[in-house]
Structure 1
Amino acid sequence: MAFYFDKFEDRKPPEPLKYNPGLELLWQFFITVNLVIGGWYILWRWTSSLNPEALWFAIPLALAETCAYIGLVLFSINLWKVKDYPRRSPPQTIQQCIHHELSEDRPIRIDMFFPSYDEEEELVKLSIVDALKVEYPHKIDIKIHILDDGRRPAMKALAEELGVNYITRNSNEGFKAGNLRNAMEQTDGDFIVICDADTRPFPTILRHTLGYFRDPDVAWVQTPQWFFDLPEGQSLTHTLERRYGAAGRSIGRLVERLYGPVTIGSDPYVNCPQMFYDVIQRRRNWANAAFCCGAGSIHRREAVMEAALKSYAESIEKQRQEQDKAIRKLTGEQDIDEGLSDMMIQQTVLDTEFTPYKFHVSEDIYTSIVLHSDEDRVWKSVLHPNVESKMLSPQDLQTWMVQRFKYAGGTIDIAAHDSPVFRKGMSFAQRVMYGATVWSYFGALWNIMFLLAPIIYLFSGIAPVAAYSQEFYLHLIPFIITNELAAMSATWGISGFKGKSNYLAFFPVNLRAIWTVVKGEQIKFPSTPKDRQEGNFFHLVLPQFGIMLVTAIALIWGWMNYQFNWYGDINISGLIVNTFWCLNNIVAMAGMVLSAFWRPEPEPQTDTGDKEPLAVNV
């Protein structure tokens, strides 16, 4: 494992996108025009374009387009503007971070948590060694803790070797959330830095983030996650130049000037999270709605405990109301004996777990929801735009899908049982932001229709619109053009093509997550493997490959039907529209399918004899 890191150690994280008010104004102009045209298009689709002879086809497609348009509206509100939280100098003492006056001031206390279950000791060692290098311009009390849910003697020995604290427990109840709760019971830091076993913090993480906590209402700061081991790839310009010489270089430069940077051969699983953190999460700062995403976040202990107490009280009250309702139904009486009611409350208190972090597969976003909805205390969240740590990316398609299923399933489960959209205490803007997150995961339901629609047309000869006429193009083309211009101006500096393609190709995982929640099954808590899983992963992309294959056959069939006029209403206009639609879908599926066969470049073989384990000086 250790030698795997050597070739990546010198890599530097990307700088956050520089705020450009001109680009932001351009984005706001284009997206406003796009939403107006999009609303006009959706209205026209429902009122004037449905094929009356094929409503079984026309209505589902129009409904899918409407759902996608709602998602566009939510996404546009999310990306509306950049409003970074003001950076402030690092506080010298805890008094500078709280409302009330202390009788005696003192240095800030920090707990750095590294939860672990089955990760290699060598991997955790690299993280702890980097944590020991964290610096701060003032006197500060930093304690580092290995939270070992694997109860391994070797991990305990590692903690003793490095001079850090070792915390374990007798069971794995609550998984990571339970592990964090157990650690909080045994520590007393003012702020908690949440890491994963492979999170390697930079020396600057506290110096750059604790200044936000000078505002006593800031509950947590989330820093971007950076996977430093991703294939870097090459620019489109360089790739085309290598293959086609000066002509390729000119074409590549032209494309990148018009569309922004395009990288070939990088990030086969789209693990690069810059689009999520630097665009989506960062632009939630204006609405105080950037949610916690686990590793690389810094939490105010007071806020976490207040959220836990509030959630605990809410849980007991909810159970009491359900019990009262059940007893009234059983006895047929309106009033319940006070003694019986008090006894039930006492039993509920004993049976209910007090959990600083919700026992949930998405405990991080759940804690964010509880804090953001606190009606008694307007807690603030901050997305710090600079990368302050590095970590490992998923190394294979199976690991990547396990991780994405947890994200999707956890979010959908929260939406089904404790939706932030309807939770008391949320501002309207926060409801919209959380709603956008939830809505995006339900996108698989209508993305299926976008994948099947051109196939149905090419095989059946039945169109979902009354006609592929001039009126159709007058409504559709302006919407597509303004949408692309808006997306380019909103994400300038980050290539968004892979993200959009994978959102479409991700439908099997999202559908499985939705179905799991609908069936009432619990989303499991498997830890994400840190080592590459070897094997054939083609079976994981059979749905995407099936879509590619059927779409390609439909294309051939449709053109043959047009040529020989076998049946249906295949005309050249509809054929061209659906051909481009099919090609877009094939390209979108192809990236996911090819990722199943991706392998890291083999290491050069050198005769150096037996390698010694990586030595780390502390």
Structure 2
Amino acid sequence: MSIHAIRIVAALTVVMGLIYITWRWTASLNWDAWWIALPLVAAETYSLIDVALFSLTIWRMSNREVAPTAPQGLTVDVFITTYNEDPELVLETTRAALAIRYPHTTWVLDDGARPEMRAAAERLGAGYVSRGSEWQGKPRHAKAGNLNNALHETQGEYVLILDADQIPRPEILDQTLGYFNNRRVAFVQTPQWFGNVPENDPLGSQAPLFYGPIQQGKDGWNAAFFCGSNAVLRREALMQLGLAGYVEDTERRVSRALTAGRRVLRTARRRPEARDPNVAALLARVEAALAEGSRRLDSGDSFGDATYFVQADVDAAVRTLVARDLEAASADAAALRAELAEFEEEALGDDPAELDAAVDRLVARDLSPLGALESVRALLDAVSVERLHEAQPIMPLSTISVTEDMSTSMRLHASGWRSVYHHEILAVGLAPEDLPSMLTQRLRWAQGTVQVMLRENPLNMRGLSWPQRLMYFATMWSYLSGFAAVVYFAGPLAYLLFGVLPVHALSTAFFERFVPFMVLNQILFVLVAQGAKTWRGQQYSLALFPTWIRACTSAAANVWFGRPLGFAVTPKSRGERRRALPLVWPQAILAVLLIVGCVTGVIRWGFGLSQGLGTVVNIVWAIFDVVLLSVLVGAARYQGYEPRAVADKEEV
């Protein structure tokens, strides 16, 4: 299909959507039923923005038909990441990695530190990397930490990252390394495709829309994502990113500490003990030192220069006050000791939000002069340039999210690097084989994406072009669909059960605006998909609304309040059969309500309690919702993949 035809349909879709949504906001709202009318029009507005972002994405779809020839003599490390996967599964991937044609070194990155895994990998001729003792008691950062550790233990110019279940094809490096002839290319991403998915794809694992038009569209805007596996990355770009991140984070921490220290001292100077001229002079001297430290930092001096003299002045002031044996200060210092220990534990984490919260709590205390000086010293110790709380101060891959890939690629783009999406299946993986495993996987993806949105919103990230910002934001925005889905399910129920219509009336004005927009929207999907089966993805985008809502709320609680998320590895093999119904009870209840609503709507119509047109439209709407939810019936019954040959034999 011509890109020009796709652009015409995309533009018409957005224009018709704008006409429809403008009319909805200005001329159709039923204010007597505002409690459903406003949420519904807000959900429709959300969907229009989603359509507009999708249209922008596919506006410049790339078409990389032939990969550049891979230059000879490059050094490549192949990383196979594993934690608790079946060793035989890891070894199958290792054998395939060793068989890659382009010269390389294969490494098994075992975060489970299993001796039998080391012995098996070395027996095959692969290298083995696990965490050392320096990681004990330090933040591990899950897969990102595993990869960062391996980057410090190896030397290849390029790194191919594979999940434990992704079997690479021998030509994977020949088909990707040529793109690095462009010195600004940081990574090349290839599709994730799964060999254990039946034709009807009951769990929606293949994602042909994302690993196709969406990634090709993002590639056209130089915003293709790194997806965690089946990607080749330039080590230079990653290490540069790690260094830049280290400097930026340390600068932010030091600046925050110097500013907070001045606030602590200003509060302490209001205490009665500070009326002593000698004590007041000490506090003024340290406050001036903090101001000088901030000035040095703003003028570009090193972190050490900005904080060294401040720390010296603080230490001298503390010694002076202790020598004077101020009774009140000594008592306060004893009471403060436990709180400072707690502050240091919180402030030494890698999460900027945790540091800020710890600093705010410390600043809010009413401290004596000695307590204030001890607090300033704790602040400066917490932002030490040495970063002794980290096993590795330099973290090339981002650690702010349970999914390290999106944040890492966004930071690379913001640093001026380029990316490539090569649309060729070069590795075959294993998809989840039951509904519980699939839900675990989707929840983790969504949580990680929302974490990134809340911590590093691309719309505010310096260095990204506006198209790049919108490409990242489009993916983050899509995970808010759970809230819109609730409204779309509630809409027909409001009328069928209670006779409440969110619009004034289902008039000709409504249909002549709504129908063209919906028809064009579906035509756009068909044209862009180019024969790929995308219906399953459309079903799951709404049917998994509880998962998307949980992801948003749990990620927000993690970012804003420090509540842990945990990290669950998606099972790669079929284990004990788990009951699926308890995991989808909201959808089951909703499906029953929709069916009851249809029956009730017919009865109300028969008794003249509702309009004929309104009843028919809402019954059609409810049936459509049930069809969307019905995808979970097949998913719950799915017993796992059976190869065609085995299935044929059983039939005979």
TM (norm. structure 2) is 0.78
Partner of 2:229: 295
Contact 1:538 1:593 in 2 (8 A): no
Aligned partner of residue 434 in structure 1, secondary structure:
helix
Aligned partner of residue 291 in structure 2, secondary structure:
coil
Identity percentage over the alignment?
33
1:358 aligned to 2:398? yes
Partner of 1:223: 190
Partner of 1:193: 160
Aligned-residue offset at 1:306: 0.7
1:453 aligned to 2:491? yes
- Superposed, which structure 2 residues align to 1:16-415 within 5 Å? 20-21=1-2, 24-85=3-64, 87=66, 89-93=68-72, 107-136=73-102, 140=103, 142-170=104-132, 171=135, 173-232=140-199, 266-332=200-266, 336-338=291-293, 341-342=307-308, 343=311, 344=380, 347-350=384-387, 351=389, 353-359=393-399, 360-374=401-415, 378-415=416-453
Aligned partner of residue 488 in structure 2, secondary structure:
helix
Deviations 1:339-377 (A, max 9, x none): 783453861442463211122311111110110111xxx
Aligned partner of residue 444 in structure 1, secondary structure:
helix
Deviations 1:460-502 (A, max 9, x none): 1010000011111111111111111122111121122111111
Contact 2:188 2:419 in 1 (8 A): yes
Contact 1:544 1:593 in 2 (8 A): no
Contact 2:190 2:422 in 1 (8 A): yes
Match among 542, 549, 557 for residue 519 of structure 1: 557
Structure with the larger helix share: 2
1:504 aligned to 2:539? no
Distance 1:389 1:604, change over 3 A: closer
Aligned partner letter, 1:579: I
Can you give the 5+ residue segments of structure 1 that lack an aligned partner in the other structure?
Answer: 1-19, 94-106, 233-265, 608-618
Aligned partner letter, 1:322: R
Deviations 1:253-308 (A, max 9, x none): xxxxxxxxxxxxx1110001222111111111111000100110000000000111
Aligned-residue offset at 1:530: 0.9
Contact 2:186 2:417 in 1 (8 A): yes
Partner of 1:243: none
Aligned partner letter, 2:129: I
1:488 aligned to 2:526? yes
Contact 1:372 1:379 in 2 (8 A): yes
Match among 610, 617, 622 for residue 582 of structure 1: 622
Aligned partner letter, 1:204: E
Deviations 1:381-434 (A, max 9, x none): 000000111111111111111111111000101111111221100001001101
Aligned partner of residue 519 in structure 1, secondary structure:
helix
Contact 1:87 1:212 in 2 (8 A): no
Aligned partner letter, 1:410: G
Q: Distance in 2 between matches of 1:436 and 1:197?
A: 29
Distance 1:372 1:517, change over 3 A: same
Deviations 1:568-615 (A, max 9, x none): xx21111111111101100101102331121137757999xxxxxxxx
Partner of 1:539: 582
Partner of 2:613: 573
In our comparison, the structure showing a higher alpha carbon Rg is: 2
Q: Distance in 1 between matches of 2:125 and 2:78?
A: 14
Q: Distance in 2 between matches of 1:403 and 1:447?
A: 20
1:529 aligned to 2:566? no
Q: Distance in 2 between matches of 1:457 and 1:314?
A: 54
Partner of 2:471: 433
Q: Distance in 2 between matches of 1:340 and 1:210?
A: 43
Q: Distance in 2 between matches of 1:212 and 1:337?
A: 48
Q: Which runs of 4+ in 1 moved over 6 A?
A: 604-607
Q: Distance in 2 between matches of 1:482 and 1:536?
A: 40
Q: Distance in 2 between matches of 1:199 and 1:601?
A: 17
Partner of 1:245: none
Contact 2:189 2:227 in 1 (8 A): yes
Aligned-residue offset at 1:186: 1.2
Contact 2:591 2:626 in 1 (8 A): yes
Q: Distance in 1 between matches of 2:159 and 2:306?
A: 41
Contact 1:224 1:274 in 2 (8 A): no
Aligned partner of residue 285 in structure 1, secondary structure:
helix
Aligned partner of residue 596 in structure 2, secondary structure:
helix
Contact 1:222 1:382 in 2 (8 A): yes
Q: Report the aligned-residue RMSD.
A: 2.0
Q: Distance in 1 between matches of 2:414 and 2:306?
A: 32
Distance 1:86 1:593, change over 3 A: closer
